[in-house]
Structure 1
Amino acid sequence: MRFAPPPTVRVAEHPGGMNQVLARSFNERLIMSLLLQHDGMTRLQLGQESGLSAQTISVIVRALERDDLVSKGEAVRGRIGPPTTPISLNPNGAFSIGLHVDRHAIEATIVNFVGSPVTQRRSTLTTFDIENVRDALIDMVDGLLGELTAAQKPLVAGIGLTFPQRFEAEEEQAVLAYDFEQDLRAHAGLEVVIQDDVTAAASAETLYGQAKRMDDLLFCFASKDLVPRLILGGRIYTGSNPQISICDNQAWNLTAKNLESVATWDDLRVQRWIEHVVSKTTDLVQDLATFASVPAMILSAPAPMAVIDELVLHIRSEISTDLSVTGSRFGPNALAIGAAIMPIQTRFTANTL
């Protein structure tokens, strides 16, 4: 089992489409890529951004409407000329399954075509070996598919599967080497896309999250480690040292449990973890500034939104640069959502792996 290379995270500023018949599929993906970046676009706007002719745009939009992948909004009147009608992705036009595997649990979700979670599940792993992980993944897929209607099941674009980039123990590394994609593909009859968890989350952030239409940014995921991904010119870079230790496994397990408590703000472990995340992130930003300049940073963590917002406030007060710091809105299940968005990106966008 090998991770796919990081995908391009956004379409070029002025992408160019082709009008040849054989390019029809690419042009459809190009239009859907533009609609992913915007909340609604008219045919005129789609033509201006894609470089495609008005006739080609009309043909593609009609085809996407027939497949229920896009829908029309209300016509905008009151301007010079005929009313304009915005076109948007149909949230129920496609669905995707995301599975995030960690040492102790599997986080899973189904997202719709606009990246919103439809259902979420979590399964604890009693032992971390190939057989147990495989069985748990298959059970999770069956459970998720069971929550969809008969009409929704054929609209599932695929399964996204993510793991941490590395595990510490040798027997845990064996799990990474196993071909779970083949087992899931044979069982569910769906295409399976695999990626390391933080890269998938960073890519999802640029497609549906806070980094829409951004070319350059720093994405960081904080848990036991601070794991950064640098995005430059629409490409994701991991670097030679892809993670920075925040605490050991035992401390993180206790902290993660306390993060789920309603008394989070009174917990000394959580407060200590917040301090360490802020310190490590501030150091990282300062180190990055010596060789690269990016306008924004997005921080994600398996924590309640209130904790992420608290982290962002502290980081903003500590850094001395003009870097814009924002918290991810995907919440505690960001890694599972990142996994689920991969099949949508692979199947429906013009981005290439």
Structure 2
Amino acid sequence: MRAYNERLVLSLIRQSGPMSKAEIARVTGLSAQTVSVIMRALEQDGFLTKGEPVRGKVGQPSVPMGLRSEGAFFLGLKIGRRGSELLLTDFLGDVKFQRRETHRVPAPDDVVAFASEAIREALDGLPDEQHSRVAGLGVALPFRLWDWADATEKDSIRLDAWRTCDLAAEIGKSWDFPVYICNDASAACGAELVFGDQNKPRDFLYFYIGYFVGGGLVLDNALYTGRTGNAAALGSVLVTARDGDGCQLVEVASLVTLEQALVKAGEDASSLWNRSGDWQVPQGVLDEWLDQAASGLAQAIASSTCLIDFETVLIDGSMPPSVRAALVARTAKALRDLIVPGISFPDVTEGVIGYDAKTLGAASLPLSDRFLVDRDAFLKG
């Protein structure tokens, strides 16, 4: 699957849906004979499947070829502040297995044990002949976990163990597929890139609102993670809070901030961490958090736009769609209210993945590495 033209065809079909050989030849600039050879090989290898013939045109009916869902499988592991999660997705991105485990703080040994047990359970759900089609495990985790400032002394000891942990090596000892590591917010951005709307601009900035807010960066239709893998660490951007004090974005646009506000108001904050899609949050508390988060996000967007002239900013998060929509609307308004001479601000829109963005983003790492090229490649021929 390292052959460039094969990856080119798979990338195009993933973006556009089932296509005939003639359509692929026209879009890619490859010869009809080359495309025919590639499609035949991919079908024989179990990556493509024939659709229903399309009739009604002159000549032989065209036969669209689409991705075969069982052609490959990908594992994604997310390590979060409150829990870990592992899923198995097929070639189409449909989740076939998912398991979660809560924790107070993540410790390396516990995460490795959870991952190994969950991977074994996921594989047990596949027929034996499909085990070899598991292309790899992607891991999404916050970098520098030991910097979490609110940890107790006991928790700090557990977190400090991450300084010397080679998680990929530890998990990889038990399995014969590759393990990939990525910052969790960048991974969520990768999920938007691979599984989200395929008509996005080639450059965009991405915010993910979880326990902490984080970010991702796409340049030339490719996820950019930078020298240390921590590019677009947007939670660290300096902003001005609504009371006039300086702070980091993470302090005003994270769900932990909303949790703290609920606790201070004597309210139950547990609904923030379930996936039912229904938050039990008093409107006054929610409005206050939305306004301060939107203000911080708008400032971070303005600062980022001064460096890279983005056309679009996407905002997603572990929240009900209605809350996400309200946050995007208020952020767009707060951005319009800013005055930065010489700068044209980008559009602010919603991401589409939601709760599973980080875990699906982790699973997209082996998918992208093994089977895809960047989204511009098919335009180059």
Any gaps of 5 or more consecutive residues in structure 2? 149-155, 236-248, 263-268, 337-343, 376-381
Q: How does 1:1-353 map to 2 (within 5 A)?
A: 25-126=3-104, 128-167=106-145, 168-169=147-148, 171=157, 172-175=159-162, 177-212=164-199, 214-235=201-222, 236=224, 239=231, 242-243=234-235, 244-247=249-252, 251=257, 257-259=270-272, 260=274, 262-264=278-280, 266=282, 269-320=285-336, 323-351=346-374
1:252 and 1:139 map into 2 onto residues whose CA distance is: 33
Give the Cα–Cα distance (whole angstroms) in 2 for the partners of residues 318 and 83 of structure 1: 54
RMSD: 2.8
Which of 1 and 2 has greater Rg? 2
| Cα distance change, pair 212–111 in 1 and its aligned pair in 2 (3 A) | farther
Aligned length: 330
Contact 2:53 2:61 in 1 (8 A): yes
More off after superposition, 122-131 vs 330-339: 122-131
CA distance in 2, matches of 1:88, 1:279: 44
1:252-310, Cα deviation, whole Å (9 max, x unpaired): 55677332363435365544433332222222222233343222222111122232223
Q: Secondary structure at the residue paired with 1:292?
A: coil
Identity of aligned residues (%): 27
Say which SS state the counterpart of residue 288 (structure 1) adopts.
Answer: helix
CA contact (8 A) 2:112 2:167 kept: yes
2:238 — aligned with what? none
Q: Which amino acid aligns with 2:216?
A: R
Q: CA separation of 1:240/1:163 partners in 2, compared to 1, >3 Å: closer, same or farther? A: closer
- Deviates further, 101-110 or 163-172: 163-172
CA separation of 1:251 and 1:206: change in aligned 2, threshold 3 A: closer
> Structure 1: 5+ residue runs without aligned partners?
1-22
Q: For residue 270 of structure 2, what is the amino acid of its counterpart?
A: K
Indicate if the aligned counterparts of 1:97 and 1:156 stay in contact, CA closer than 8 A. yes
Structure-2 separation of matches of 1:76 and 1:208: 27
Task: Give a deviation string over 1:93-130, Cα, whole Å, max 9, x none.
Answer: 11111001123310221111122222221111255332
Mapped to 2, the partners of 1:127 and 1:226 lie a distance apart of 17
Q: What is the CA–CA distance in structure 2 between the aligned matches of 1:24 and 1:105, rounded to whole Å?
A: 35
Contact 1:111–1:341 (CA<8 Å) still a contact in 2? no
Q: CA deviation at 1:41?
A: 2.1
Instruction: Report if aligned partners of 1:107, 1:333 keep a CA contact under 8 Å in 2.
Output: no
Which amino acid in the other structure matches residue 326 of structure 2? E
Going from structure 1 to structure 2, the CA distance change for 1:153 and 1:176 (only over 3 Å counts) comes to farther
- CA distance in 1 between counterparts of 2:111 and 2:58 reads 60
**Which amino acid counterpart does residue 280 of structure 1 have in structure 2?**
G
* Structure 2 contact 189–215 (Cα < 8 Å) conserved: no
Q: 1:241 to 1:154 in 2, by over 3 A?
A: closer
TM-score, normalised to structure 2's length?
0.77
Measured in 2, the distance between the counterparts of 1:50 and 1:177 equals 46
Query: Amino acid of the residue matched to residue 184 of structure 1?
Result: I
- The answer to whether the Cα contact below 8 Å between 1:185 and 1:191 also exists between their aligned partners in 2 is yes
In the alignment, is the contact (CA less than 8 A) between 1:99 and 1:107 conserved in 2?
Answer: yes
**Residues 219 and 251 of structure 1, relative CA distance in 2, 3 Å threshold:** closer
SS in 2 for 1:277: helix
Assess, with a 3 A threshold, how the Cα gap between structure 1 residues 312 and 80 changes in structure 2: closer, same or farther: farther
Change (3 A) 1:240 1:88: closer
